[in-house]
Structure 1
């Protein structure tokens, strides 16, 4: 299996872009044409993938929006992943699941995402420590570890100071992930919210090699020029709702394609 970083770097350089397209099909926000279909999530996901894949450096489906529908949702999720591989096998898939558990539980999650679904990367929560991450890495998976997230209350824990190092908790997490990446080269990255451009810049100076996954651009208010200037090219910048849920019109696929082209062109102009 081609590594996540190999696919990402190839796609990034070919498109001169960092655009990660997030797929978050919140049922209440889907166009009526989807809701009227036999499987709303399948209809939505198929349309988005087919219309926007030419501008995607990576995909980032959020598993929560599929899980809520139980078996129907998992069918739609797995169907979408297969379709992504069929339509654009060169585009890496980052499954946004934010898993975080130990031992055999982590191994089972890892087997589902990296052996059954065969996605390229997974978001995980490091709160339970290195033991909760190694099972994924031992299977050869790539992890984006939550560092500094884009939500307003991220400061509740992530910006607490640690003793005796007197650094923010998110900085300590980033340092430990950099050390873990030395043991598992090419398998560990960091999630850093696009609403924190100054922190992105300081983390980039701290860890020039780590790949960043940066949500928070678009609907959450992150400023694209500031993000790219701070992050450099070793980053995926995610846009979800701003591209895929920007209209309820029947031609939502065409609108999404236009939105993805707009972001793509903007990134082309800012590409370092």
Structure 2
């Protein structure tokens, strides 16, 4: 499989490169880095300004591809290539290039404005997520996996609906192929309440009942994984409880080699598109590890 890496030569953060190579190394895939440079507007007769712009864009693209090759050379065990293309929309240009390369995955980095060690969605990444028909992996700001880093565990956000069960089988297949363990997590987020104590007590009873139900659904999923050949040390489950999405994520232990797998919204009308629902978006923005968003 080809992994398309969205490469930006003007960013100091090489987290996307690290993640792309980590994913490729885990599954014997190839990495193709692509830089998108601005495209000139078509004119009836090209003037000097237009020719100068096209020349600048070509030089910028070739320099970017050369820089991408230099960065990828730090991962000599990963087969890689680099190229550039022109486009007025970076997300659309990446999608077009992914289709040309028959890429099965697009890898992007987090914006420079985001906190170090967290996933931060830029406006371009957000548009890409709303349009991509293939999974998109997002590296946290400053991500580093090391020269031999591989994926060792996938954490799947489990909702218990039909879409998540389908995603579970896909994640299980990938984990078996890359020899990684699988952790299932259901998030139980409950904000603070300012209501009377009697109502708060009723809310707590409902919350605890929901946790018990989620735990039972997780156990059913674990038994399903056992039927697929997963052993006890290859699968685990947990309900992450917190008063906010950030606190729920902090309750979980994270290790180097972890990736978080999130399914796109089951209520989206954009079929076969990576469309983040409100819950998935909050999970992604609070993740301390790379996130793989799957249609």
TM exceeds 0.5?
no
- The structure with more strand, counted as a fraction of residues: 2
TM-score with structure 1 setting the length? 0.30
User: Which structure shows the higher helix fraction?
Assistant: 1
- Name the larger-Rg structure: 2
Please report the TM-score for the alignment, with normalisation by the length of structure 2.
0.28
